[in-house]
Structure 1
Amino acid sequence: MGCFYCDEHHEGREAIMFKVGEMKAGVLYLFKDQAHKGRCVLALKNHKKELCECEPQELADFADDLARASGAVKELWGCTKLNLASFGDANPHLHFHIVPKYEGGFEFGGNFQITNPEPVLLSDAEYQEMIAALKAKLGL
């Protein structure tokens, strides 16, 4: 079993998220669980574990990708706050969770839990609509 993000068709990744597209230094994915409407993850294209391992240009490009992707989520779905998180203990490939929070909504004012015991799943058409909106907003 290889890297969750490096393997072209990783079974575990494809079970929980859809690839949206490649950015300058990262690859954007949309989670199937949409309890936080617009929840995505941005993974570095190159296999590195930590931000401090990135070359200066790669770091700048990845930061720009993260700002653009999270800004697109906020603009498209109007969240109250964006939570950005990078863990990687169990999945050691640099990636940031983009978690939109909505006042009065799921987990607002509390900690984000990576695994939701009651995922909110959408229809294929709804996922495709969200992916198309992100691609259009980001020019992917």
Structure 2
Amino acid sequence: MGCFYCDEHHEGREAIMIEVGKMKAGTLYLFKDQAHKGRCALALNSHKKELFECDEQERNQYCADLAAASQAVKKLWGCTKINLGSFGDTNPHLHFHIVPKYEGGFEFGGSFAIGNPEPVLLKDEEYAEMIAALKQELGL
């Protein structure tokens, strides 16, 4: 079994997220579960497990990608706060979850769960609209 993010087609990844596009050092994905409207993940383009494994240029570009993607989510969907999380215990490829939180909304005021027992799934056209908006905002 290969890497969740490095494999061109990984069934597990494709089951839960859709690729938005490649940035300078990372690839942005939109989660299919949109209980947190705009939830994404940003995976490093090279296979590393930890942020400190990146050289200065790659780390700076990746962090700039993370900031730009977070800002785009905030601008597009107007969340109250962006939660960022990098875990990778069982998926050892550097990636950050970008989780918009909305005051009074799902999981606001606490940490976010990786999996949601009641996912909010959208129509294909709705995902396409969100991806197009992210691409436009990020210049992808």
Deviation at 1:83, TM superposition (A): 0.1
For the aligned residues, what is the CA RMSD? 0.3
Identity of aligned residues (%): 79
- The 5 Å alignment of 1:1-140 reads 1-140=1-140
* SS across alignment from 2:107: coil
Superposition TM-score, scaled by structure 1 size: 1.00
Specify every segment of 5 or more residues in structure 2 that has no aligned partner in the other structure, as ranges: none
Please give the alpha-carbon distance, in whole angstroms, between the structure 2 residues aligned to 1:128 and 1:98.
19
Deviation at 1:117, TM superposition (A): 0.2
Deviation digits for residues 78-128 of structure 1 (CA, Å, limit 9, x no counterpart): 000000000000000000000000000000001100000000000000000
Counterpart of 1:105, as a letter, is G
Please give the alpha-carbon distance, in whole angstroms, between the structure 1 residues aligned to 2:64 and 2:19.
19
Specify every segment of 5 or more residues in structure 1 that has no aligned partner in the other structure, as ranges: none
* SS across alignment from 1:83: strand
Counterpart of 1:15, as a letter, is A
Superposition TM-score, scaled by structure 2 size: 1.00
* SS across alignment from 1:49: coil
Counterpart of 1:80, as a letter, is T
